[in-house]
Amino acid sequence: MEDIEQIISRLSELGVDVNIEDVENRYRLLVDKFQVPPREAQRSVLNFYLKEKGIALPSRKSEQVKINQIREPGRWVDLEAKVLSLFESPSPAISQAGILGDDTGNIRFVKWAKSGQPDLVEGKSYLLKNLVTDEFQGRFSVKINRSTEIAELDREIESVVLPQSSADYRVVDISGPGQWINLRAKVVQLWEPSSESIQQQGLLGDETGVVRFVKWAKSGQPDLVEGKSYLLKNLVTDEFQGRFSVKINRSTVIEETDEPIEVSLNRRITGAIVDIQKGSGLIKRCPTCRRPLSKGMCTDHGKVEGVYDLRVKAVIDDGLVAQDILINRERVEELIGLTMEQAKEMAIEALDHEVVLALIEEKLIGRYFEVTGPVRDRYLLVDSINEMTFSDDDVSLLVSRAEGL
């Protein structure tokens, strides 16, 4: 792999002899198990071996740039910029994420939790030295790390608030954070703001589904009205704990529309089940409130004699979006060809409930299904699930698409 080859090559240049398999194992542990971004994992592995050998990396020289001059990853830069907006952190490894702007454009930034750096404040301007540029899915970003120097400026940086381009999206098309989009949607529901920095929050919906929205108090935008439909231009997408949302900021253009929008609370996904989550299989529930028990305890009713149930908490991936799904007992029984009574007998005979979970994993992981149902919080509650079968022509088409032919 290119990242591992670069680590080994860099260590070789510095006279450090390492075991290739050890380097790969350490890199894979960070990326696959702990979900550390590849470039940060590369840096971490390199620093581990250098520290072990007592070798200090030569100091890197950063250069002052404008945002529109950032066109490649792995570059050390200094930037004078204004914090245009902040997002909810998409990962515990990230303490802060948002958008920086100057008079040439805007760019996403990430501040690593381990950097020990102070938080940036929305609306303030800074001189940021020793940032590292990165790229993901064709979009550039900058990373704040341990070596970054942060100095608040006593002058405001003129910024181009409007993005270079925003595209027309449907709710189902939202596939990642940091996208600038236009969305035609209806206000399905409004909630009480969860913090003083939020003026309004709730659900927007169109014919493909619903998505959470937040309107920042500092945005200066008018309130949306529940039940009305809008064309919202220059929203910024965000992600938290696997759920997408959209942010209304200073640059958002809000236009009320009389066009009727039918909101679908159901979603249909066709993809492969790639993971069965903890809490799946043969479980026990509280007989009073039906909540799953943890070590025989209900959070509301204390220690109780639980009743058995079957369920599956899984992740289905359509190649663009990974969606958490929840499958109830009736559909689990159909999928694995086993009633709950038979599952209980299996568990009693083996003296281990995990045998049921193992059967579920064998029957579901890696197979393709079409699922439909409403989305509640982070889960799609499965109303129907059907295994997909592919003809030879279908398989050839999928292979051709994968190969970019």
- C-alpha span between 36 and 44 (Å, rounded): 10
Average pLDDT, the chain: 83
pTM, rounded to two decimals: 0.41
Round to whole Å and give the CA distance between 52 and 72.
Answer: 30
71, exposed or middle or buried, with CB in 10 Å at 0-12, 13-18, 19+? exposed
What confidence tens digit (pLDDT) does each residue in 45-102 have?
888 888 787 776 555 567 899 998 988 888 889 999 999 888 766 567 788 988 898 9
**Token pair recorded at residue 208:** 């493909």
What are the tens digits of pLDDT across the range 374-395? 876 678 889 889 998 754 444 4
> Is the pLDDT reported for residue 277 higher than 80?
yes
Residues 6 or more apart from 226 whose CB is under 8 A from it?
Answer: 187, 188, 189, 190, 202
Phi, psi of 319, rounded to the nearest 5 degrees:
100, -20
CATH architecture of 267-387: Beta Barrel (2.40)
CATH of 63-152, one of 3.40.50.2020, 2.40.50.140, 3.40.190.10, 3.20.20.140: 2.40.50.140
Which single residue is written with the structure tokens 């992740």? 315
User: Do the first three CATH levels of 63-152 and 167-264 match, i.e. the same topology?
Assistant: yes
Tens digits of residue pLDDT in 187-237 = 988 888 878 888 999 889 998 888 889 998 888 899 999 999 999 998 888
Query: Phi and psi dihedrals of 277, rounded to 5?
Result: -90, 165
Domain 167-264's class?
A: mainly beta
- Percent helix, strand and coil across the chain, each rounded to 5? 25, 40, 35
Rounded to whole angstroms, how far apart are CA atoms 152 and 120? 9
Task: Domain ranges for the chain, please list them.
Answer: 2-53, 63-152, 167-264, 267-387
Query: Whose CA is closest to 142, among 104, 105, 181, 98?
Result: 98
| Window from 151-155, 269-273, 308-312 with minimum mean pLDDT | 269-273
* Full DSSP string of 187-240: EEEEE--SSTTEEEEEEEEETTEEEEEEEEGGG-PPPP-TT-EEEEEEEEEEEE
pLDDT at 18 exceeding the cut of 50: yes
